[in-house]
Structure 1
Amino acid sequence: MPVLEPNPPRPQRRLLIIFGVMMAVPAFVAVVATIAARMG
C-alpha cells in the first residue's frame, strides 16, 4: 500500500499541506534574508 496516494483523503491532504508550509516558510525566509543581505 503506497504511503502517498494520488488522491489522498482529507486528513492526509491536510497533513501534506502543513508539511509543505513547514518546508516553504524557512525557504521563503532564507530567500528574503539573502536578498536583504545583497541589497544592504
Structure 2
Amino acid sequence: ISKGKRAAPPKAEKLVDHHLDVAMKAVAKFSGHPLILVGKSMGS
C-alpha cells in the first residue's frame, strides 16, 4: 500500500491511450495468439 498522498486518477482519455498502447504491443509481440482482456470494477 502506498503511503503517498492520495490523488485523482489520470483522465479517462489518458488511461484509454495507455491501455491501447499496451494492448497493441502485446498483439505485435504475440501475434497469432488471442488478446484476452479482463477488468475489475472498483465500484461507484
TM-score (norm 2): 0.46
Does 1 or 2 have the higher relative contact order (CA < 8 Å, sep 6+)? 2
Q: Which has the higher helix share?
A: 1
Q: Which has the larger radius of gyration?
A: 1
TM-score (norm 1): 0.49
